[in-house]
Amino acid sequence: MREVVIVGGSIAAVTAADALRQQGHDGPITIVSDERHAPYVRPPLSKGMLKGTESVDSVFMAPLRADLDFRPKTRARGLDLGRRRVLLEGGEELPYDGLVVASGARARRLGPPEAGELVVRDLDDALRLREIFATARSVVIVGGGFLGMEIASTARGLGLDVTVVDRDPPLVRQFGAFLAGHMTRAALAAGVRLVRAPEGVRLAGTPATAVLTGEGAPLEADVIVTAAGDLPNVEWLAGSGVGDPGGLLVDERCRVAPGVVAAGDVVARVADHTGLPRRSPHWGSAIDQARAAAQALLKGDEAPEYRPSPYYWTEQWGLDIKICGRILPGCETHVVTGSMEEGSALLQWTRDGATVAAATVNHRMPVVKLRKLAAAPVPERTTG
Ligand X SMILES: Cc1cc2nc3c(=O)[nH]c(=O)nc-3n(C[C@H](O)[C@H](O)[C@H](O)COP(=O)(O)OP(=O)(O)OC[C@H]3O[C@@H](n4cnc5c(N)ncnc54)[C@H](O)[C@@H]3O)c2cc1C
**Which 142-171 residues touch ligand X, going by CB under 6 A?**
147
Least distance to another protein, CB of residue 54, Å = 8
- Which residue type, as a one-letter code, is found at position 36? R
Q: Find all residues with CB under 8 Å of 15, minimum gap 6, and list them.
A: 263, 286, 287, 290, 291
Q: Which does 281 bind (CB under 5 to 8 A by kind): ligand X, another protein, none?
A: ligand X
Vertex 7: Cα angle to 100 and 23 (nearest 5):
40
Does 367 bind another protein (CB under 8 A)? Our answer is yes
Q: Which does 102 bind (CB under 5 to 8 A by kind): another protein, ligand X, none?
A: ligand X
Complex with another protein: residue 243 or 325, whichever CB lies closer: 325
Does 314 bind ligand X (CB under 6 A)? Our answer is yes
Here's the x/- map for ligand X, 98-127, by CB under 6 A: it reads as ----xxxx--------------xx------
- Cα four-point dihedral sign 326, 330, 335, 336: negative
Q: Which does 176 bind (CB under 5 to 8 A by kind): another protein, ligand X, none?
A: none
**Which 257-276 residues touch ligand X, going by CB under 6 A?**
264-265
Does 234 bind ligand X (CB under 6 A)? Our answer is no
Least distance to ligand X, CB of residue 106, Å = 7
Does 236 bind ligand X (CB under 6 A)? Our answer is yes
How far from each other are the two terminal CA atoms of the chain, in whole angstroms? 55
Give the number of other CB atoms < 10 A from CB of residue 45: 25
Total residues contacting another protein (rule CB under 8 A)? 30
What span, in angstroms and rounded, lies between the C-alpha atoms of 293 and 285? 12
Complex with another protein: residue 138 or 313, whichever CB lies closer: 313
DSSP 89-146: TTS-EEE-SEEEE---EEE--SS-GGG--B--SSHHHHHHHHHHHHH-SEEEEE--SH
Q: Which does 219 bind (CB under 5 to 8 A by kind): another protein, ligand X, none?
A: none
What span, in angstroms and rounded, lies between the C-alpha atoms of 95 and 352? 50
Does 359 bind another protein (CB under 8 A)? Our answer is no
The one segment of 57-65, 196-204, 280-288, 329-337 that binds ligand X by CB under 6 A: 280-288
Total residues contacting ligand X (rule CB under 6 A)? 36
Q: CA neighbours within 13 Å on the CB side: how many for 106?
A: 14
Question: Nearest to residue 38, comparing CAs of 5, 78, 71?
Answer: 71
Does 148 bind another protein (CB under 8 A)? Our answer is no
Give the number of other CB atoms < 10 A from CB of residue 26: 10
Vertex 77: Cα angle to 103 and 31 (nearest 5):
50
Binding site for another protein (CB under 8 A): 11, 14-15, 18-19, 21-22, 39, 41, 43-44, 58-62, 64-65, 283-284, 287, 313, 320, 322, 364-369
Binding site for ligand X (CB under 6 A): 7-13, 32-35, 42-43, 45-46, 75-76, 102-105, 120-121, 147, 233, 236, 264-265, 281-284, 286, 312-314
